[in-house]
Amino acid sequence: MAETWVRMVTAQTPTNIAVIKYWGKRDETLILPVNDSISVTLDPAHLCTTTTVAVSPSFVQDRMWLNGKEISLSGGRYQNCLREIRARACDVEDKERGINISKKDWEKLHVHIASYNNFPTAAGLASSAAGFACLVFALAKLMNAKEDNSKLSAIARQGSGSACRSLFGGFVKWNMGKFEDGSDSLAVEVVDEKHWDDLVIIIAVVSSRQKETSSTTGMRETVETSLLLQHRAKEIVPKRIIQMEEAIKNRDFASFAHLTCADSNQFHAVCLDTCPPIFYMNDTSHRIISCAEKWNRSEGTPQVAYTFDAGPNAVLIARNRQAAARLLQKLLFYFPPNSDTDLNSYVLGDKSILKDAGIEDLKDVEAFPPPSEIKDAPRYKGDVSYFICTRPGRGPVLLSDESQALLSPETGLPK
Amino acid sequence: MAETWVRMVTAQTPTNIAVIKYWGKRDETLILPVNDSISVTLDPAHLCTTTTVAVSPSFVQDRMWLNGKEISLSGGRYQNCLREIRARACDVEDKERGINISKKDWEKLHVHIASYNNFPTAAGLASSAAGFACLVFALAKLMNAKEDNSKLSAIARQGSGSACRSLFGGFVKWNMGKFEDGSDSLAVEVVDEKHWDDLVIIIAVVSSRQKETSSTTGMRETVETSLLLQHRAKEIVPKRIIQMEEAIKNRDFASFAHLTCADSNQFHAVCLDTCPPIFYMNDTSHRIISCAEKWNRSEGTPQVAYTFDAGPNAVLIARNRQAAARLLQKLLFYFPPNSDTDLNSYVLGDKSILKDAGIEDLKDVEAFPPPSEIKDAPRYKGDVSYFICTRPGRGPVLLSDESQALLSPETGLPK
């Protein structure tokens, strides 16, 4: 084979947010969880990772660039994913370009990886989930691995636990599995993204001065010290998983919202029961919960569910567009931006929700009467950095348009 | 008997703070808890209730004044305490003044009650615990009830659960009891206040804009909705009670601190596991915890324990005066007062700790280097309203000095 070719694959993978939470590993190396979890996949139009993987006989080592900056691949999590995919690589033949890679060649060939998040990495929006899912998915395609997405999810899981749930769209369940080797700890689709397509998701990215405990460290400390975690994992979550699947299949928003909120709160409760205690939510998170709870109560039936991961950001799931528009009105009223921020950079993602809410300008928000369910509530200017409006979305896809590749087809280096 | 006499008794009763928490009732009317709890009694010199109860044939109804303002006695909790003490009243004879009250007279005689807290009632410092304990103790003495303090505690419990623990000094255990009538749900002394007299307690009264869920409502909602509470009450607390009694008896500060912090955090965890979730701690509370945890870790052995009740105030228990002085330095560094506040009104109670800490003026605090265990930590000016320095203290006492009575010996009305 010629020594100059570069073969590339570009994929796009969504992020996901758990509605029944994953917290606690029973095996730290294989990343095997103490309970099943269920997530909703977020629309990649607003939150996703794009990854280009390339192979060339001219590459002298595996290399990776994240958001344009080269990072080390020496970490065990990257190495696990690379090793597992290489072990499943198959023959690749590209007659047109005269490329022939045999199964055993993959052991010697090096890869270049470039990955880009279309949202701030540091914002605590599960970038590692989308990232490892995309890495594994793209490498599998590059190396012609024949495994289906569930099988690939068990590999992505070894990069970052929640990454396994980003291999599907819609609602996804991560079965904790029973086997010691982790081969049955993988993700399956509950329903695809078309099943419940009136849901609207609004993410409040909350300003925080606090440095948070990493989820890896946090989980370990919870497993080691919380006296409530095992009870949650063994007695509570298994029942909730069944109820949640039922609620999703029936598009039963009341049950879905109840379970989602209760499970988010219980996850944060076991964090608090950890020694030393872990606080991911702050006063702003609490105020967003209070806003959602009061509105739901005043309506008599839930309009919005909330869930928080290992950080202060709120993920709010509205029952439909109308509820989302009303929710956005309330959120903008309570959490107006700092005066130097305009609406366009304060509400990101699907801006059509703003239109539904009758908001063309921040002045429109000022004109609303205060939401009736909370009288005399103060307003918290600047406590939210920005909002992202999105919805449930699809799973990983290959991008065939070469202009979207992050590596140069000539050099295999970042464009 | 003459129709003009007024017979009075004045008592002083401490407040208490639980180190193994009471949260959840199995009987709402009798106020029977779902688990045992243990508390430390706070020195009445800094936090106490003084109550004068008076009886006179001239009184036409039961009346009560709290901090100088008349309040209604019609609530079930006051009525329960009054009824239970009246049922135990005995003959009273005062030969000198020619007063003779027979057991059965008490049913017809009315009482006046005046109560005063030497600390702000609204600050969330368990004023109802000291209040009901003092009411029951003073009425029992007035009516010559022969019950010991444990028996009286079972009556005070019907006014406010945690009040039963204010009938003793030192460390006190509230046995949840087994009987349906609640007669064995009462407080007993674990050790008196002299047993472990090097402990120093610093209370941080935290500024809050939030209106809190009352503990009665909060407990009810936790019992009804938390899936973790029963596990805590049945499986975790019984073991902790044994360990805590042991730690207190052995003056084992490391075990004491570990159990106190873990149980406070677990109480707040079950509040968070409630639907809708209850948040009593705020960002300032979290920062105080973080300050204590980091210091303890940096020292290798615990210097301070923290515990929080149904509100954001921190109760910090330092292992000795030296640790308390260092703690106060740290607290004043992180949480300086607003610029219009002077040291004398910012640190209340036992001001000798200030002297030990080498602080005569707020300028002295500015001169400290930032505590080494938290580098570059921001300072949170105005987030704490004030501190109270105190220590474990004695149980209820009678005040024989009539000048301390809150009612006039002539009229039986507030002085």
Q: What Å distances lie between residue B180 and A314, A412, B27, B77, B177, CA to CA?
A: 45, 78, 9, 18, 9
Question: Is B185 in contact with B165 (CB distance < 8 Å)?
Answer: no
| Residue contact B269–A265, C-beta within 8 A | no
The distance of A235 to chain B (nearest Cα, Å) reads 9
Question: A227 to chain B: which residues are within 8 Å by CB?
Answer: 232, 235-236, 266
Nearest-by-CA chain B residue for A239? B227
Residues of chain A with Cβ-Cβ distance to B377 below 8 Å are none
Residues of A numbered 126-155 whose beta carbons fall under 8 angstroms of chain B's beta carbons: which are they?
A: none
CA-nearest residue of chain A to B291? A276
The pLDDT of residue A370 is 78
Please tell me the predicted confidence (pLDDT) of residue A35: 98
Count of A-B CB contacts under 8 Å: 79
Tokens of A300: 């008599």
Q: What are phi and psi of A297, to 5 degrees?
A: -65, -40
Chain B CB contacts of A231 below 8 Å: 228, 231, 235
Residue A113 touches partner B, C-beta closer than 8 Å: no
Q: How far apart are CA B195 and CA B168, in angstroms?
A: 13
Locate CATH 3.30.230.10 in chain A.
7-191+400-404
pLDDT at A1: 46
CATH class for the domain made up of B7-192+399-404: alpha beta
Q: Which two tokens stand for residue B324?
A: 């308390």
For residue A207, give Cα distances in angstroms to A16, A313, A385: 21, 8, 5
* Å between A27 CA and nearest CA of chain B: 24
What DSSP string runs through A292-329? HHHHHHHHSS--EEEE--SSS-EEEEESSHHHHHHHHH
8 Å CB contact of A272 and B286:
no
> What's at B273, amino acid-wise?
D
Contact B61, B256 (CB under 8 A): no
Name the segment(s) of chain B with CATH classification 3.30.70.890. 200-390
- This model of the complex carries an ipTM of 0.94
- Contact, A53 vs A113, CB < 8 A? yes
Q: Would you state the structure tokens that stand for residue B332, as one six-digit string?
A: 């004043």
Taking an 8 Å cut-off on Cβ atoms, the answer to whether B262 and A275 are in contact is yes
- Cα–Cα nearest to A261, from B218, B220, B275: B275
10-residue block means of pLDDT along chain A (415 residues)?
A: 82 97 97 98 96 96 96 94 97 92 95 92 75 97 98 97 98 98 97 97 86 89 98 98 98 98 98 97 96 96 97 97 96 92 94 94 83 78 95 97 94 94
Contact of B231 with chain A, judged by CB distance below 8 Å, is answered with yes
**Tokens (6 digits) for A63:** 């290399």
Instruction: Report chain B residues whose CB lies below 8 A from the CB of A297.
Output: 276
pLDDT in tens, chain B (415 residues): 446 899 999 999 999 999 999 999 999 999 999 999 999 999 999 999 999 999 999 999 999 999 999 999 999 999 999 999 999 999 999 999 889 999 999 999 999 999 999 887 666 677 789 999 999 999 999 999 999 999 999 999 999 999 999 999 999 999 999 999 999 999 999 999 999 999 999 999 997 766 778 999 999 999 999 999 999 999 999 999 999 999 999 999 999 999 999 999 999 999 999 999 999 999 999 999 999 999 999 999 999 999 999 999 999 999 999 999 999 999 999 999 998 889 999 999 999 999 999 999 888 888 877 777 776 678 899 999 999 999 999 999 999 998 999 999 999 999 9
B299/chain A closest Cα distance in angstroms: 15
Q: What is the pLDDT of residues A296-316, one digit of tens each?
A: 999 999 999 999 999 999 999
Residue linked to tokens 């009471």: B22
Alpha-carbon torsion (B77, B79, B80, B86), positive or negative: positive
Chain A residues 261-290 with CB within 8 Å of chain B:
261-262, 265-266, 268-270, 272-277, 279, 282-283, 286, 289
pLDDT tens for residues B203-260? Answer: 999 977 667 789 999 999 999 999 999 999 999 999 999 999 999 999 999 999 999 9
CB nearest to B270's CB, from A269, A276, A279? A269
How much is the pLDDT for B158? 97
pLDDT for A372 equals 77
Residues 6+ apart with CB under 8 A from B12: B44, B48, B49, B50, B51, B134, B396, B397, B399
Contacts with A255 from chain B: Cβ below 8 Å: none
Q: Which residues of A touch B227 (CB under 8 A)?
A: 232, 235-236, 266
Cα–Cα dist B312/B373, whole Å: 24
User: pLDDT of A372-405, one tens digit each?
Assistant: 776 667 889 999 999 999 999 999 999 999 899 9
Q: Is A254 on the interface with B (CB under 8 A)?
A: no
Provide CATH 3.30.230.10 ranges for chain B. Answer: 7-192+399-404
For residue B276, say if its preceding peptide bond is cis, omega within 30 degrees of 0: yes
What is B200-390's CATH number?
A: 3.30.70.890
pLDDT value, residue A207? 78
Structural class in CATH, domain A7-191+400-404 = alpha beta
Retrieve residue B344's tokens.
């004398």
